[in-house]
Amino acid sequence: MARMPQFYSLNGTIMERSACVLSPFDRSFMLGDGLFETVLVRGAAAVWLREHYERMKASAAVFGIAFPFSCDGVAEWCARIIEAEKVTDGFCRIALSRGTSRTGRFTDLPDDTRMIIIAGSAAPRAGMPAVTAAAAPWPVNEHDPVVRHKTASRIGGVYAKTRATESGVDELLFCNTQGAVAEGIFSNVFWMKGQELFTPSPECGILPGIAREKVLNAARKLGMKTNVGAYAIDAVRGAEEIFFTNSLMLISRCSKFCGEVKDSNCVMNALERLIFSEL
């Protein structure tokens, strides 16, 4: 069992977990009015931190959340909490709250933004088992601007993960309201058909993942033809190879989709080797 983090960073100040007090009027707690990023830690260093920082900063601007934090400052805070927790391989979770409201009403918008960072150890990515997946029984709304941002409100994902487990699979693949493939519960999806790589476009209603972009870059370096667009679920069913990506697992092969076994993982392995070599 993973050890619970013993420290946290609040706007750069390292504090013991036992001293943590959450206000009942914190907007992130009350309304999910906040953002977060989960960052891979390898060799006691945060991976792709600038990309995570830039995404959070851009999302904060969209939602009107004050963001008085520099990338160098956040990097220093992450390094300190990684050192405090003695993490070699694991994660950093960077959470941003709009702050504490006086009343809890939607219109009561504070500007005392708070950034909390925790870190924890986890087994290295190598050897992660393949996942099984099924088509989700409900769609995502590609017109909802929130789906393109990593907000603190993740109850939909928690619900979906529970339904997946009850169905005997690890992952659900969502389509949007037009029937185009979108994304997994907490992941982006790729598949191979012939010698070509496919993935949904942001317009399909996805969170454009950082690992997703790294995979696309790696595929281009390897000379693969990459296709980004809108595709029906049958395109995935007929794929020769399927894999999911996010910043923690990087790439995870799908061994079975909608009951059909997928044996190939040669393209995924080639992409994974290139990405790992550049970490």
pLDDT (tens digit per residue) in 188-202: 999 999 889 999 999
Q: Under 8 Å CB-to-CB from 263, ≥6 apart: which residues?
A: 255
Which of the listed CATH numbers 3.40.50.11030, 3.20.10.10, 3.40.50.300, 3.40.50.150 matches domain 131-277?
Answer: 3.20.10.10
**Helix 49-63 vs helix 210-221: crossing angle, to nearest 10:** 130
pLDDT for the residue numbered 111: 80
Domain range list for the chain: 7-121, 131-277
Q: Mean pLDDT across the stretch 217-223?
A: 96
Q: How confident is the model at residue 103 (pLDDT cuts 50, 70, 90)?
A: confident
The answer, yes or no, to whether residue 124 has pLDDT greater than 70, is no
Q: Which two tokens stand for residue 197?
A: 């790589």
Query: How many angstroms separate the CA atoms of 239 and 243, rounded?
Result: 10
Residue 96 near residue 65, CB atoms below 8 Å: yes
pTM over 0.85: yes
The answer, yes or no, to whether residue 107 has pLDDT greater than 80, is no
High-pLDDT (> 70) share of the chain, %: 97
Segment 225-271, tens digit of pLDDT:
999 999 999 999 999 999 999 999 899 999 999 999 998 888 988 99
More confident residue, 38 or 272: 38
pLDDT for the residue numbered 104: 64
Segment 7-51, tens digit of pLDDT:
999 999 999 998 888 888 899 988 899 999 999 999 999 999 999
Q: Under 8 Å CB-to-CB from 70, ≥6 apart: which residues?
A: none
What are the phi and psi torsion angles at 199 (to 5°)? -160, 150
Quote the Cα angle for 213-258-187, to 5°: 25
The mean pLDDT of the chain is: 93
What are the phi and psi torsion angles at 40 (to 5°)? -70, 140
- Do the domains spanning 7-121 and 131-277 agree at the CATH topology level? no
pLDDT for the residue numbered 110: 79
pLDDT for the residue numbered 21: 83
What are the phi and psi torsion angles at 180 (to 5°)? -85, 140
Name residue, tokens 């309201």. 177
Q: Does domain 7-121 have CATH number 3.40.50.20?
A: no
Residue 132 near residue 254, CB atoms below 8 Å: yes
pLDDT for the residue numbered 22: 82
The answer, yes or no, to whether residue 127 has pLDDT greater than 70, is no
Query: How many angstroms separate the CA atoms of 87 and 41, rounded?
Result: 8
Q: Which two tokens stand for residue 139?
A: 């769609």
Q: How confident is the model at residue 223 (pLDDT cuts 50, 70, 90)?
A: very high
User: How does DSSP assign 132-172, residue by residue?
Assistant: EEEE-SS-B-TT-GGGGS-BS--HHHHHHHHHHHHTT-SEE
